[in-house]
Structure formats: C-alpha cells, structure tokens
Amino acid sequence: MSARARKRPPSVVITGASQGIGAAVAACFAREVQGVRLALLARNANNLRKIATACRRLGAEADVVPCDASDEASVAAAAHTVLGAGGAPDVLVNNAGRFAGASFLEITTEAFDSLVRDNLRSVFLVSKAFVPAMAKRGSGHVFNMSSIAGLQAYPAGAGYCAAKFGVTGLSAVMRRELRENGVQVTTVFPGATWTPSWAGSGFGPERMMPAESIAKAIVDAWRLGPAAVVEDIVLRPPGGDL
C-alpha cells in the first residue's frame, strides 16, 4: 500500500493546467492516483475544459476553475471556490508562468514587471491563498515550478532569470517555515521541456524533455509521503541545456 494511502482520494490544485507541464501533471495524477480530485486553474477556460475531460476519462474528478494566478482578486475567488468545495488540498502545484527573453540593457521596466508578476508573484499569491489551510490541517505538499534559469543565469534572461531565482528563494523560505506545520515544499527545476512556449524556436521535441517526465517526477516525489521530503528536483535533457 502506498505511503500516501488514506480514507479519501487526495485533492490536487494545479495552476497553469491548460497546457504544457501543468496539463501533463494533471494527466499523470489522473492516470496514476485512483479517484484523485483535481482543481485545474488557468486563464484559458476552453483549454481547461479539454484537459478536465481527458482527466475524467482516466478516472479522476476534475473541476475547471478559471483563474489569473498573477491577479490577487482572481486567485482569491478561485481559492474560495476550491476550498469551499473540498477544503485544503493535499497537493498544490504552482506551475503557472511565462517565458520571454530579453537582455538587461534591452528589457523595459514593463516587461520586467510582467515576468516577475507571471512567474513569481503568481507563486506567492496562490500559496498565500491555499497554504494556510494546509498548514492549519497539518499536512500537504507544495511544488513550486522554478527552472534551470532559477539555478544559473544566462544571457538574454534578465527578467525571466530574476523571477525564477525569486521562486527558488521563496520556496526555500517556505520549506524552512512550513515544515513545522507538516507541509512539505519541493522546488522543481526543469531544463528545456517541449511545451507550446517553444513553438517557432528552431528547436524540436527530440532535443527536449517531454512534459510527461516532469509530471512523473512530481507524482513520484509526492508518493514518498511525509517520512522524507524531496527538496529539489533538477531535470535536464540528455543532451544538456539549450
């Protein structure tokens, strides 16, 4: 029996669930965890409905919750819906984010603020909305999606690297503080992963990791249960970074 065996199926909240890694995480939980209850959050409601339908076919319960993870009012409304329907989630996957490249000399203040908002502020807002209920219950697992760009800087990544390094730091603080409340925090650092954001980049899927690999790592880390915490998950394509 799994270390996470329980009387009720686990509940999982996933942001950025309408495509890419978020959609893959939803499908992996639906496929591998019997009866899992999914709350799928993203701005694109049409895509969310398609992902939810696919997850239901795999045996999961899946709720569509349109939400802009970078907007405080939108996050509060989504949390009110999710917490009101099922209480504190067992798993929170902070996956919402966006990539855009620009050098330090070229990036505008507006573009910098936008990347920080979509990649770092979103993690903060969603965590503030859901984690207190997890801490009050005394259990839960949070996965914050950073990036290889949150471990090492690279040219033309001024805003994105700054935001992802911020996710790395915020996750470390959350881990230290929340372990006393029984809440685990794992930071995920994917390298190049084949998602819609790479369309038109000149690179193909054969040079990258499939989103399903990231999803499987998250589900496997959660399955370890409360006896051990995977603090960081670093994944790179076999051919190295792009």
Which residue, among 202, 199, 98, has the nearest Cα to 149 in the 3D structure? 98
What pLDDT is stored for residue 7 in this prediction?
67
Listed as ranges, residues in the chain with pLDDT below 70 are 1-7
Angle at CA of residue 182, ends 178 and 184, nearest 5°: 65
Q: Which CATH architecture has domain 11-235?
A: 3-Layer(aba) Sandwich (3.40)
Asked whether 242 and 227 are in contact (CB, 8 A), the reply is no
Strand segments (E) across the chain:
11-15, 37-42, 61-66, 91-94, 140-145, 183-190, 193-194, 209-210, 232-235
**118, 97 contact by CB (below 8 A):** yes
Please give the pLDDT value at position 4.
Answer: 46
Q: Would you kindly state where each structural domain of the chain is located, as residue ranges? A: 11-235
- Residue 38 near residue 114, CB atoms below 8 Å: no
